[in-house]
Amino acid sequence: MRLDQYLVENNHVETRSEAKDIITRGFVLINDKPVLKAGYDIKPSDNVSVTQRRKYVSRAGEKLEFALKEFQIDLTNQIVVDVGSSTGGFTQCALSFGAQKVYAYDVGTNQLDPSLRENEKIFLFEKTNILDVDIPAHDFMVIDVSFTSVIPILRHVAKENKALIVLVKPQFEVSLKELKKGIVKNQKTIQSVIEKIVSELKDLNYHIYGYLPSPIKGKEGNQEYLLYVRK
């Protein structure tokens, strides 16, 4: 049996994608040694142990935590808007850093993790494109969207927003011809994407506090960036 399948069937994790994540990060030991391949063939005699589990419902939470710590951002008692909430990693992280409540928006449906659905501090809006929404009053915004450019979103929220972190995903900011198996490998292309978004934000009267490469890459292996701005 594959290692990722074993972890799911033995209730260590809920999905194979989650299994792959903790495997590749060295959190799974076989006979007291880390194994980094999800397809590793488990033998009946193998002793499998999980040394660490996810802190958040998705990897996104760890990405945001990294940025909040690096940029020394305090969300205590702040109202946060989460654009592209998906399973809720950013939302969960914001709450763990003291956010008073989170308005969570996503174009999809039934994606928010069940563990978060009953949280009274989360106001969930599914099947909702942020471009069609009047932005509620808030103190901070986090943006993590896929399969679309973030630029139209930044333009839409700029009037009501004073501070935000956006997860820049170069693979969704370039044409298909610039991708190799779904990955942006050309560093000049990546830098061009960042510069374009930074320029757009400056035009929207934001001050650039900095950007950092995410410590966790995208699912296909793309390097992503956490960009922090304020007015």
Range with the poorest average pLDDT among 74-88, 137-151, 171-185, 204-218: 171-185
pLDDT at 134 over 80: yes
185 pLDDT band, cuts 50/70/90, is confident
Looking at the structure, do residues 30 and 142 belong to the same domain, yes or no? no
CB 115: neighbour CB atoms within 10 A?
A: 11
CB 103: neighbour CB atoms within 10 A?
A: 21
Looking at the structure, do residues 41 and 63 belong to the same domain, yes or no? no
**Domain with 154 in it: what CATH number?**
3.40.50.150
Q: Pairing between strand 122-125 and 207-213?
A: unpaired
Looking at the structure, do residues 94 and 186 belong to the same domain, yes or no? yes
Selected residue with higher pLDDT from 53 and 147: 147
Closest to 17 in 3D by CA, of 218, 214, 213: 218
* Host domain of residue 92: 59-230
Looking at the structure, do residues 90 and 41 belong to the same domain, yes or no? no
Looking at the structure, do residues 72 and 121 belong to the same domain, yes or no? yes
Mean pLDDT of 166-179: 85
Looking at the structure, do residues 178 and 222 belong to the same domain, yes or no? yes
Mean pLDDT of 3-29: 85
82 neighbors 63 (Cβ within 8 angstroms) = no
Q: Radius of gyration over alpha carbons of the chain, in Å?
A: 19
Looking at the structure, do residues 79 and 35 belong to the same domain, yes or no? no
Looking at the structure, do residues 36 and 143 belong to the same domain, yes or no? no
Please tell me the pTM assigned to this model. Answer: 0.82
Mean pLDDT of 8-24: 82
**Residue 13 backbone class (left: φ over 0; alpha: ψ -120 to 50; beta: rest):** beta
Looking at the structure, do residues 180 and 116 belong to the same domain, yes or no? yes
Selected residue with higher pLDDT from 16 and 119: 119
Selected residue with higher pLDDT from 15 and 34: 34
Looking at the structure, do residues 38 and 90 belong to the same domain, yes or no? no
